[in-house]
Structure 1
């Protein structure tokens, strides 16, 4: 059974690492191309004869990298000795396994008929334990190579190819060892070579040990750059994936808007189809662009990973002399990191919408919007006769109504999108309200100092709960700020006093708490993939964690080569997961709404002309509502 397992392992390793990609057989006289891929010499000869018999270049069938054919032909390509020796060793091990299965395993060194426990590769015979002990003591046999039949007792037999010993001897002066490496000529040299062929001032050579030390250091530094590129690639790839998802959402949303419009008048069905096709075409073209960029980045990183894997393999497997001999090719491949320019996601292309006409004419149904621009369509200064004093929280109901928390007035007010009064509740139910959120069922959740209070859409009080475990004995440090609710009606509450976010069911029961040292007051939103996004006004931070407390990102909201102090305040997310933040620039000089990707990458400014940054919310119409202290501003896409 052990022999069968060993045979299986050998076969797996052989198929994975020791087979030529062309003939799919075990390597025979492997040659290395400039791209660090290895092939059998005969396979390369057949390949180049099919490509072009007298060609001075050969194209790698794996990665399509072009390698110049040496003047001496393909035989002049570098040998991969460590691969050859590994193949030889595997062949030996397989033969030993075959012999072991057929062998009775009786000792061939003595006449006692004892069971053989090992095999001497140099004597080519099976030996028992007594003979093995004697073998190791005798001067003539103690250096023989021994392979145990019992894998658990097998000594670490290092792969070895005596042809590698040739590397240490100078091919020109065969009685001299190679002890120098000429950096100018990129070649190994013996003492005589250094004195005769590399003695000019233009030749810079050093001892092999120094050369290999410097070489390994250079390689490691470049590999670190590749590793940094992997991090950039991951962020860029996620950004492109989000951009592709977002453009699909936008296309679906635009098509839905078009469909809603076409239901008004039967005449416009043909025109709506044309417009929908145009939106889909633009979306498909942009998705193809994102896909091409993503594929290009992935191809580059795949190539980079191949180079890194090949170089790491060489560094680990090849000896110093072989490494130095291959240095030009290795360093040539490592220069690929300079070409590793990843294509960034063009977020502006991920937006697509539609601007439909209110009155359909015979000319067209609507206009395709390929860029996202926002402008203020409404500003509300008061609800009925009540003027705003300090609007801190804002939420939107499914019917388009807007719910506002006025902290100075200690009121929760409900109005239409034009400011028409719908209702209010004040000090009789509220002590110090700050944030408000609306569920999918139009229940209103209000943070009121130590408690979360729940109202229906008519502002009738339903119940309240504390964010701490003990509802009767509220923690004295508790100070609730903002609140958010996800599609599954799980409630997130920002507790500035205890520097944590608590997660609750609708009945107020505690799910978990998420401590965070940067939770020192600010606004809170729930994004995609169960992510909590909140701001730290004083530290200029936009922070994202999961429901389990794992930090996704923590970004500085200051931007530019000479950073402007940008303090974030209100935050909300759209249904694609994009993040919108109201920010204070340069201590109140101006206030804007900034747009970020779900990964925390700054995209751009979407709104200006705000006086004091506060809460944000999206209406069902996807208009953006901004609390601006004494007013409520509504922005829409144009």
Structure 2
């Protein structure tokens, strides 16, 4: 059983790493091309004869990169000694597992099938008696190192390629290679240096110094590549989300168009279909652009990963002299790092909306909005039928029927408005002592943080019940200070306690699910997609996202053009896009900023706000802002 498993493992490794991509057999006399891919010499000969016989270059069948053919032919391409050694070792291990004599080999130089009696270390082949005589007779092979049976060293496959003896110079056979000429990009012995590299333009170093510098250069390039890999991940994630958001926005726009079509009935049905097709076509064109950029970036990164993997294999398995011999090719391939520029996501293309036109006067039902722009739709200043006005509007929540509720901390009120901004009713001030945040459930309940309690009201502002998130804390009266509150789609309630520096999760009845401690907990809180808690920290100028288990997803500084901005209110739309109100120049003026679900800054939404603490979206996509002394409603245009 163990022997069968060993054979299976050897076969798997061989197929994955030791087989020529052309013949799909184990490498025989492997040669390395400029792209660092390796192939059998015979396979390259056949490939070259099929492509263009006697051509000056050969095309790699894997990556299509060309390699110049040396003057001596394909035989002059660099040998891949470490692959040869690995293939020999695998052959040996398979023979041992098959109970074959370890030294039973046939000659690899001729086709007569004679038993091999020696092995040429320079040719990396086993040879018979006749081929041994040829080696000794031919001048070009006279100095090859031959190992035979009589030396009891026939099987040399266990020799560590990293521990080979110092190679001899091919021109001066009695001299060891000890220098590397940077000018000529070649190895040299002392005699070569004295005769051929003695002029001032030749710069050479000892092998040890050169390989040390060489390895350092490779390491530096690979470290830069790691940074590029991280940038690629951020860009790729943003592109993916942009495509998802684009689909959501296209669907929303088509839904709005459908609603308008039904309102106008038959008169606008044809124009409605025409406009939907236009929106869909725009979405498809932009989706193709996103896909093209994403594919281009992924292809670049895939090619870069292949080069890096090959270089890493060489760095780990080849010896110093082989590395130096391959240095020009390796460094040439690593030049990709300088050209590795990822295309940026045109995030603004992920928005599509509709601007309506008068179907009686205009030719078309509407026009496509290619960019996301916002304008002030309505500003609410007065409260109720009298002259009373907002003092400190701090929280806002929208009900499913379009109505929205606003808390005023100074006036100690909870007020209800229609979708058009008309005042409806308010809670008796005696029922609230310090109202701050407000959130709405899918069942039309309103939840208000009021000091140390969460108070629950129905859609007509009738008080139902209250609960204290800190009821298990013995020191609740002095510590707890409830501020932000949010509800997810399953009606789980998240409450920010800035006094105790934690977020508590509750069921709808107020029972505790869990608590999450965090020193960065401040006042404002919202819930994003995939169970994400998103909150701001005014003093530290941070936008922070964590999971329901407390794991940090991102923690980013809120800044604009290098200037620090202090975050206030925060909310998310249905697609998970994050909208943050920020104070500019110590809150002298405020703006609304747009972030992706990954915490990447997208752009400005609105300006000239005062002190925006509470934000929410209506069912129709309008943005409602509790802005201190007023409530503002913004719409896309």
TM-score using structure 2 length:
0.88
CA distance in 2, matches of 1:504, 1:417: 29
Deviations 1:281-330 (A, max 9, x none): 11111111111111111111111111111111001000011011111111
The aligned residue for residue 631 of structure 2 is 632
Mapped pair 1:559 → 2:560: yes
The aligned residue for residue 510 of structure 2 is 508
C-alpha RMSD of the superposition: 2.4
Matches within 5 A, 1:613-628: 613-628=612-627
CA distance in 2, matches of 1:416, 1:45: 82
The aligned residue for residue 124 of structure 2 is none
The aligned residue for residue 295 of structure 1 is 295
CA contact (8 A) 1:543 1:555 kept: yes
The aligned residue for residue 132 of structure 2 is none
The aligned residue for residue 351 of structure 2 is 351
The aligned residue for residue 530 of structure 2 is 529
Shift of 1:36: 1.1
Shift of 1:241: 0.3
The aligned residue for residue 191 of structure 1 is 190
CA distance in 2, matches of 1:306, 1:360: 61
Q: 2:397 aligns with which of 395, 403, 407?
A: 395
CA distance in 2, matches of 1:101, 1:479: 83
Matches within 5 A, 1:92-171: 92-99=92-99, 159-160=158-159, 165=164, 168-171=167-170
Shift of 1:475: 5.9
Mark the CA change 1:212 to 1:59 in structure 2 (over 3 Å): closer, same or farther: same
Mapped pair 1:68 → 2:68: yes
CA contact (8 A) 1:180 1:205 kept: yes
CA distance in 1, matches of 2:454, 2:217: 60
Matches within 5 A, 1:205-354: 205-264=204-263, 265-354=265-354
Shift of 1:516: 1.6
CA distance in 2, matches of 1:268, 1:314: 68
CA contact (8 A) 1:537 1:569 kept: yes
SS at match of 1:583: strand
Shift of 1:553: 1.0
The aligned residue for residue 52 of structure 2 is 52
The aligned residue for residue 450 of structure 2 is 448
Mapped pair 1:467 → 2:442: no
Mapped pair 1:33 → 2:25: no
CA distance in 1, matches of 2:57, 2:546: 53
SS at match of 2:295: helix
CA distance in 1, matches of 2:298, 2:95: 42
Deviations 1:393-439 (A, max 9, x none): 11111122121010001111101234322111143221111101111
Mark the CA change 1:462 to 1:189 in structure 2 (over 3 Å): closer, same or farther: same
Mapped pair 1:518 → 2:520: yes
Shift of 1:88: 1.1
Mark the CA change 1:146 to 1:483 in structure 2 (over 3 Å): closer, same or farther: farther
SS at match of 1:382: coil
CA contact (8 A) 2:618 2:624 kept: yes
Q: 1:487 aligns with which of 467, 486, 489?
A: 489
Q: 1:499 aligns with which of 489, 495, 501?
A: 501
CA contact (8 A) 1:382 1:419 kept: no
TM-score using structure 1 length:
0.88
CA distance in 2, matches of 1:549, 1:373: 35
**Number of equivalenced pairs:** 590
Deviations 1:511-541 (A, max 9, x none): 222222211x231111111111111111111
Shift of 1:255: 1.0
Deviations 1:594-618 (A, max 9, x none): 0011111111101012112211110
Mapped pair 1:83 → 2:83: yes
Shift of 1:371: 0.8
CA distance in 1, matches of 2:589, 2:506: 36
Mark the CA change 1:324 to 1:486 in structure 2 (over 3 Å): closer, same or farther: same
Q: Which 5+ residue runs of structure 1 have no aligned equivalent? A: 103-120, 123-140, 148-156
Shift of 1:69: 2.5
CA distance in 1, matches of 2:608, 2:89: 75
CA contact (8 A) 1:468 1:475 kept: no
CA contact (8 A) 2:566 2:587 kept: no
Mark the CA change 1:163 to 1:552 in structure 2 (over 3 Å): closer, same or farther: closer
Shift of 1:164: 8.7
CA distance in 1, matches of 2:496, 2:219: 45
CA distance in 2, matches of 1:472, 1:273: 64
The aligned residue for residue 181 of structure 2 is 182
CA contact (8 A) 1:86 1:160 kept: no
Mark the CA change 1:436 to 1:295 in structure 2 (over 3 Å): closer, same or farther: same
Mapped pair 1:574 → 2:576: no
SS at match of 1:387: coil
Shift of 1:267: 2.9
The aligned residue for residue 480 of structure 2 is 478
CA distance in 2, matches of 1:355, 1:373: 11
CA distance in 2, matches of 1:163, 1:545: 49
CA contact (8 A) 1:383 1:415 kept: no
Shift of 1:29: 1.5
The aligned residue for residue 131 of structure 2 is none
Mark the CA change 1:186 to 1:506 in structure 2 (over 3 Å): closer, same or farther: same
CA distance in 2, matches of 1:530, 1:473: 30
Mark the CA change 1:31 to 1:621 in structure 2 (over 3 Å): closer, same or farther: same
CA contact (8 A) 1:469 1:510 kept: no
Shift of 1:234: 0.8
Shift of 1:158: 8.0
SS at match of 1:378: strand
Mark the CA change 1:81 to 1:306 in structure 2 (over 3 Å): closer, same or farther: same
SS at match of 1:517: coil
SS at match of 1:503: strand
Mark the CA change 1:174 to 1:162 in structure 2 (over 3 Å): closer, same or farther: farther
CA distance in 2, matches of 1:375, 1:446: 29
CA contact (8 A) 2:456 2:466 kept: yes
- Structure 1 stretch displaced more, 267-276 or 11-20: 267-276
CA contact (8 A) 2:161 2:319 kept: no
Q: Which 5+ residue runs of structure 2 have no aligned equivalent? A: 103-117, 120-148
- Structure 1 stretch displaced more, 405-414 or 542-551: 542-551
Shift of 1:101: 11
CA contact (8 A) 1:81 1:161 kept: no
Shift of 1:442: 1.8
Deviations 1:426-482 (A, max 9, x none): 432211111011112221111111111111111111221222252887363111111
